[in-house]
Chains A and B, each alone.
Chain A
Amino acid sequence: MNDGARDPRARTMSARRARALGLALLAALGVLGAGLLALAARAGAPVWPAGAFAALAVVALALSARRPSPAAARPLAFGAESAILAELRRGDLVRAAAASRGEGLPAELAAAVAGATAALARVADEVREANVATASTADGVARITADLASGSAELSASVVEITAAMEELARTAAEIAGRAATQAELAARAEGRGVTGASALADAVSGVAEVKARIGAIAARTDALGARTKEIGRVLDLIEEIAQETHVLSLNAAIEAAAAGEGGRRIAVVAEEVRHLASRSRDSVASVRALLDEFAGAIRGTVVATEEGSKETERVLERARRAAAAIGDLREVASETAERARRISGATREQNVASDEVVATLRDVGRVVQRASQALEGLDGTAARIERQVLSLELLTQGLRRDSPRSLKHLSEEWAAQLRDLPHQELQRELDRLFAASPSLDCAYFVDAKGYTLALSARRPVAGPGLPSEAEVLGRDLSGRPWFTAAARSGRACLTSPYASVLGGRVCWSVAVPIAGPDGALAGVLGLDVEAHGWTRT
């Protein structure tokens, strides 16, 4: 190339081209920058992407600031420049770099493009890696949150249990206290009755003693009567004696009178009268003696009765004394019971107070746990937000095709190149081989131009109970699917938006790349499914 013979028009064109490139770069960086800002807002986000970003921004500004130089004039490789721009716009750094290596581009432009695309690619990779770290962190947070949540749930449950138990305890203690109070009252009443009983008993005892004294008096009088009776008996004996003598005397008189014949008649009469007198005396004596015997019998009876009465009163006294002793014991027991009841009352009151304190503390704990749970829920939300950010950043980086196994667009383009010319029967085998080498993918499938599945590789069963049958999956017409139509239309790898997989509802997205046949027409579409959670952590 002839530097001196530079066409000013070429220089102007190169300056214009540089500016356009710089602007395009800025656009790409602007998209990345948003993501980097979001990343920088997270703690632990690596610092250097910001530096790289800044450096690239400077380069971009420099490029865009270059004014068109009239001295420079070079013939435009217009097709190559627009191709680079187009590829850059599309985010396809690989094609952009390839285009820059094509002919007709000034060396420094080509170098700048190469450098910029390489830097972009690096930035994208670094952003992705940082994203992965963030995703792991988010996972960690989610795990901890889950642990905390379950822990706090357990704690809540325990608090509820303990609270219930404490309340139960408090109720039981209250019951015990109540019963103790009743006992104390009963004991107090028993004590009172004991006192009454004791005084009533004392009265009874003194009454019995009085009876005993009276019985003693009766016994004494009875003895006196007995003695008098004996005296009377002796007098009666004497009278009887006299009567008998008189009787015998009368008989002798009668005998003499009989011997005296007529002269003894008057004596005989007198004798007879005397005999009668004696007889009456003896009869009287007999009556009196009978009465006396009765009386003596009665006296003896009285004596026996009074002796019995005396014994009985003794027995009553003894029983009364025993009852007094029993009442004394009862009073002691009652007073002991009352004392114990009072102590129980006191103890249960103390326990009540303690229980109340515990219950109050537990309620506080419960409230704290509840607040923690609410905070955790918030945290859970945060984890979900982080997850969403991670997904967004990932999709963002996936928007740039770059030469990396982590760039799905690149991966799919590479696979497409390998599958392009294979006959249909070898497609499955080749697809399986490629799929096995990429464990991070969820599913890969090759559909023909009409949208019928020709090959399918998947990590999870796609057919079975609850799932579509194999026949349904293979041979189904997928030409209406958005990824099919997008790929077919754009002619290059496309990303779908995230969606919920039919197989388990997990967040997935797909990359679809059209495959052109030898004649350039659409031969088929290769699709790769990625499961968001797993992909963002590899």
Chain B
Amino acid sequence: MDLSQSTPALGRSHLLVRAGEQVCALPVAAVRRVVRALSVHPLPGARPELAGLAEFAGEALAVLDLSRLLGAPLGPHPAFPVTVVVWAGPLERREAVGLAADEALEVVLIDDAAVVPGAGFLRGDAMVGARLVRVLDLERLGEDA
């Protein structure tokens, strides 16, 4: 990771996580913390994307299943699943929400120019090394819910 770029690194830093068989890139600016997968208490009658409620830093927050959000096929059983606590939603009303992922990989720099645009929450795709990653726009998470 090269931080000696003239462009502010923060804007280009992304955390790569694997959800199922899909690798996503989460903008570091929106990432609060990566933690070992939180224990989730399900809400009866909730949609499958909502895994349930968990406690983090003295608060109750919703935990979303990232692979279901992406519609990614299930991958191998995760050895060390994580919950990425992010700030998501519209900037003025953004809330902390947990994203349940199978694996947290690394922090990389992704240029905007490298992102092939997508739609909404799914900002676009980019090549990172040999990987094709989905770059997410967390401000628009849950927009089409």
Contact = CB atoms under 8 A, between A and B. Distances in A.
Interface of A: 240, 244-245, 247-248, 251-252, 254-255, 257-259, 261, 264-265, 268, 272, 275
B54 interface: no
A268 B104 contact: no
Q: Which of A240, A257, A261, A272 has the most CB of B within 10 A?
A: A257
Question: Which range holds the interface residue count of chain B?
Answer: 20 to 34
B36 A261 contact: no
B128 interface: no
B34 A251 contact: yes
A261 B13 CA distance: 11
Interface in B103-130: 104, 106-107
A248 B8 contact: no
A515 to B, nearest CB: 165
Given A259-B10, A259-B28, A254 B107 contact: yes
Nearest to A247: B104
Contacts of B80: 240, 244, 247-248
Interface of B: 1, 3-4, 8-10, 13, 15, 28-29, 31, 33-36, 79-80, 82, 104, 106-107
A248 B103 CA distance: 10
A248 B33 CA distance: 9
A261 B9 contact: yes
A257 B15 CA distance: 13
A248 B106 CA distance: 9
Contact of B3 (A244, A245, A265): A265
Interface of A, secondary structure class, is: helix
A240 B78 CA distance: 13
A258 B9 contact: yes
Contacts, number: 54
A251 B103 CA distance: 12
A288 to B, nearest CB: 15
Given A245-B36, A248-B36, A272-B1, A259 B107 contact: no
B10 A251 contact: no
B104 A248 contact: yes
14 contacts: A248-B35, A248-B36, A248-B104, A252-B33, A254-B28, A255-B33, A255-B107, A258-B13, A258-B107, A259-B29, A261-B8, A265-B3, A265-B4, A268-B3
A268 B82 contact: no
Given A248-B82, A258-B13, 11 more contacts: A245-B36, A247-B80, A248-B36, A248-B104, A251-B34, A255-B31, A258-B3, A258-B28, A258-B29, A261-B8, A265-B4
A426 B104 CA distance: 175
Q: Which of A252, A254, A255, A258 has the most CB of B within 10 A?
A: A258
Contacts of B8: 261
Contacts of A261: 8-10
Nearest to B104: A251
Q: Which of A255, A259, A261 has the most CB of B within 10 A?
A: A255
A150 B34 CA distance: 140
A251 B84 CA distance: 11
B32 to A, nearest CB: 8
A244 B104 CA distance: 10
CB-CB nearest 3 A-B residue pairs: A244-B80, A254-B107, A258-B13
Contacts of B10: 258-259, 261
Contacts of A255: 13, 15, 28, 31, 33-34, 107
Contacts of B31: 255
Contacts of A264: 3
A213 B28 CA distance: 65
B69 to A, nearest CB: 20
A248 to B, nearest CB: 5
